């Protein structure tokens, strides 16, 4: 038996860092959205647990895929193959998406009778974005990113993603360390966006913040020029995905999105993909 799961990337339509807790973790308010750039994972029955990947450097014991399998499996085996398409350390949640797809895929392969609540609790032990990426779509996330409120699907939209440079493996930790108390906000704007989505109001996506924009340029020297290239290619606005360094814009028309991507003329660094609806 072989089980195949897609692992879609995510962007943040709004992202506010509310503050830093005494334990060092940060409270967030963010509206998350999955998009059609996805890794693919296949799972086959096996006595042992193994991971192969078309990028061999990722097939390590510390990969979130194997961590997810161990968290769910209690010693069960599987042969897992990861077809990697989401760039690594790009702000698109690729590792978390793979972990979420692993939980879904192995629950099917192993025939586990596991409720969504238990699956969400397991996902939360693997990373802040993993619970959201179990089902994807559009959601408001608060707390450490693990308190989720599913939102209605947004209108049909296309995203243009552009990665001007690769991020280091610890890029999210670096971004958090760069934040200062004056960069924090109360999450009000993110909650306002969620209320607009509930109401079916025009989203005006250029309006909503990403706290990491305040420090991203000092971490990634190429971002300022990349923003200008995107605007010059026709992007109506430009936003940072997560903690970066991927930039994105969104438009309602596929041909308009493809035209922006074509004008950028950066194959291997640019993707034109639809927004995703919630799984299940």
Q: How many CB atoms lie within 10 A of CB 46?
A: 13
Alpha-carbon gap, residue 161 to 29, rounded angstroms = 22
pLDDT tens for the chain, 280 residues long, are 899 999 999 999 999 999 888 787 889 999 999 999 999 999 999 999 999 999 999 999 999 999 999 999 878 999 999 999 999 999 999 999 999 999 999 999 999 998 888 999 999 999 989 999 999 999 999 998 879 999 999 999 999 999 999 888 888 889 999 999 999 999 999 999 999 999 999 999 999 999 999 999 999 999 999 999 999 999 999 999 999 999 999 999 999 999 999 999 999 999 999 998 888 6
CATH code, 158-274? 3.30.70.890
**Residues classed as catalytic:** 10, 129
DSSP 17-79: EEEE-TTS-EEEEEEEEEEEEEEEEEEEE-SSEEEEESSGGG-STT-HHHHHHHHHHTT--EE
Strand partners of residue 240: 247
**Are 40 and 8 in contact, with CB atoms under 8 Å apart?**
no
2-150 topology per CATH: Ribosomal Protein S5; domain 2 (3.30.230)
Rg of the chain over Cα atoms, rounded to whole angstroms, equals 18
pLDDT for position 19: 85
CB atoms within 10 A of CB 45: 13
Q: Is the peptide bond before 186 cis (omega within 30 degrees of 0)?
A: no
Nearest to 141 by CA among 153, 128, 152, 154: 128
CB neighbours of 187 closer than 8 A, spacing ≥ 6?
16, 18, 28, 29, 142
278 burial (CB, 10 Å; 0-12 / 13-18 / 19+) is middle
* Every domain of the chain and the residues it spans: 2-150, 158-274
Q: What angle do CA 70, 72, 77 make, to 5 degrees?
A: 55
For the record, the structure tokens of 128 come out as 């802040």
Compute how many other C-beta atoms are within 10 angstroms of the C-beta atom of residue 267.
8
CATH fold match for the domains 2-150 and 158-274: no
């Amino acid at each position: 038996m072989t089980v195949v799961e897609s692992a879609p990337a995510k962007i943040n339509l709004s992202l506010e860092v509310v503050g830093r807790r005494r334990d060092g973790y940060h409270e967030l308010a963010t509206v998350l959205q999955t998009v059609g750039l996805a890794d693919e994972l296949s799972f086959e029955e096996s006595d042992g647990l193994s991971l192969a990947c078309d990028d061999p450097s990722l097939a390590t014991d510390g990969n979130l895929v194997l961590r997810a399998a161990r968290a769910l499996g209690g010693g069960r085996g599987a042969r897992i193959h990861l077809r990697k398409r989401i760039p690594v350390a790009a702000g698109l949640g690729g590792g978390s998406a793979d972990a979420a797809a692993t939980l879904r895929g192995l629950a099917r392969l192993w025939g586990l009778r596991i409720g969504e609540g238990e699956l969400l609790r397991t996902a939360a032990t693997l990373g802040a974005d993993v619970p959201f990426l179990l089902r994807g779509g559009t959601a408001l996330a608060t707390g450490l990113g693990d308190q989720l409120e599913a939102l209605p699907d947004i209108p049909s939209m296309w995203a243009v993603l552009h990665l001007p440079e690769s991020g280091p493996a610890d890029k999210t930790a670096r971004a958090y360390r760069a934040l200062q108390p004056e960069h924090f906000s109360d999450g009000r704007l993110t909650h306002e966006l969620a209320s607009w989505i509930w109401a079916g109001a025009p989203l005006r996506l250029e309006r909503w913040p990403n706290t990491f924009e305040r420090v991203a340029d000092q971490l990634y020297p190429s971002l300022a020029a990349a923003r200008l290239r995107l605007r010059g290619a026709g992007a109506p606005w430009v936003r940072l995905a997560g903690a970066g360094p991927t930039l994105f814009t969104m438009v309602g028309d596929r041909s308009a999105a493809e035209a922006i991507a074509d004008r950028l003329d950066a194959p291997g660094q640019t993707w034109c993909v639809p927004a995703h609806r919630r799984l299940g």
